[in-house]
A and B are shown apart, each in its own frame.
Chain A
Amino acid sequence: MKLTNAALGEEYTVCCVSDNHDMKRRFSDLGIMKGETITPLYRSPFGEPTAYEILGAVMALRKEDSDSITVEKSDKKWD
């Protein structure tokens, strides 16, 4: 599923990031890459952006950016 549609407060695992090269690189700098855990925390009053916890830090992504990330719900952390 798209990261945009992920439920707040649940843990997700990143499956893939779309192939737009520049953004993919940027995301991997921020720790958003295959296998990492990502948790949507809260959403702006206007519906976007949404704040996510990645590797301990909180970052906000706009809708078009979170659309390019595919996640699946995780029960336990990947190794």
Chain B
Amino acid sequence: MGLTASSVGFHLKHNSSCDNYDIKVNLSGNPNVGKSSVFNLLTGLHQHTGNWSGKTVETARGTYSFSGKRVLVTDLPGCYSLDTHSSEEEVAKRSILEAENAVNVIVCDAALLCRNLNLFFQIAARNRKVILCVNLTDEAAKHGIFVDTTLLSSRLNLPVISTCAKNGKGIERLKEEIEKCADLRITNKYFGLDMENAEERIHLAEQICDGVITRTAGKKERNLKIDRLITSKTFGLPFMFLMLMFLFWLTISASNYPSQLLSSLFTRLENPFYGFLLGIGIPAKLCELLVFGIYRVVGFIVSVMLPPMSIFFPLFTLMEDLGLLPRIAFNMDRCFKKCNTCGKQCLTMCMGLGCNAAGVVGARIIDSPRERLIAIITNSLVPCNGRFPTLITMISLFFVAGFSGFAASFLSACILSLFIISSVLITLLSSFFL
């Protein structure tokens, strides 16, 4: 989830050895169009992907080989234009302008082609070698939007590749085009043109998109209805609470069974283990220490901690992929505004629910140093996945001791959710005074 060696590839910041590659590729595009997914497919790395804007702040590098050539791929943070505003856009701009000989792959969301071309024109005006990659074609098709890439390609006079990062469609073609583009001494037809005026760019984009995009009735109406419901005055806040409670209830009730299984397994192995240790000649006192001390305690901890953690975390990731985090941030923004903090802090706070470490790392997306520091300090106030099992144990010991079955798990989920709500309130309160 955070910045691990496997997620950013070899050396994140060392640019010195970049000269040893035959082809250099810059992946750029608007936020949340799936650049990191394309990057992962090209390089086989596992950069964290997420369904919210501004997830990548640092650039990530990776390599692959294609027909004997070594290719260096740089995944740039998403930006809307090259007129920079925030730190991640500054990073992207510098990389795009510095790399003169690189192949620029501009990743677009098929559903938002017209808007994404805005950035494309700016990059094409400053770099000779560009390839347009129309991503998320499957998602767009679900919304009834289809892009005619052949027509688009002939209008732009450029290679246009449609990809679907979910099943890897189009990636091989992208690799071929990158190689071809790097070899040829070609210049795209927008190179050197004046593309500074945003209004002109959008008009040009609209002209080009006309006829390229076909729309049929899709799921847009239904999605809008869902969004209206979960952000409405009456249902918005109760929905968030119920969602949280449902997650906890699922975690608590589903972890009971594997917990018992693990615990009885560890207990059953206790005596054979003790016998085995005695058998190989270890003194009885030491055996007792090892088996009834260390082994038993470790067994308890594993059987209590492991099941809730391994159930909650995948559920939380699923919520993240469904795009729930931005909706929660949308609903809660006013509270954070009142506390004079950045609206993005809500995102890092929610990330902290999954893992505080990931939440703190995620605070990179906040621009102002003061607001970033507040987000980092207050992040640990929301308990994370690793602390839930302890909380659940405490709750079942002290609050729901007299209940059993459904009532017990339901009540525990209620109390845990209230606990989380209070921790959110404390986060807001301390943010206000920081």
Contacts and interface: CB of A to CB of B under 8 A. Distances in A.
Given A42-B231, A45-B231, A51-B231, A29 B83 contact: yes
A54 B198 CA distance: 15
A45 B331 contact: yes
Contact of A36 (B202, B227, B337): B202
Nearest to A57: B112
B183 interface: no
A42 to B, nearest CB: 5
B212 to A, nearest CB: 13
A48 interface: yes
Contacts of A22: 85
Interface string A13-27: 000000000100110
A47 B334 contact: yes
Interface string B336-355: 01000001000000000000
A73 interface: no
Interface of A: 22, 25-26, 28-31, 33-36, 41-49, 51, 54-58, 60, 62
B374 to A, nearest CB: 18
Nearest to A43: B231
Contacts of A26: 85
Nearest to A24: B198
14 contacts: A25-B85, A26-B85, A29-B118, A31-B115, A35-B199, A42-B224, A46-B333, A46-B335, A51-B330, A55-B112, A55-B114, A55-B115, A56-B112, A62-B337
Interface in B95-125: 111-112, 114-115, 118
Contacts of A51: 227, 231, 330
Given A41-B224, A44-B236, A28 B199 contact: yes
Contacts of A62: 333, 337, 343
B115 A49 contact: no
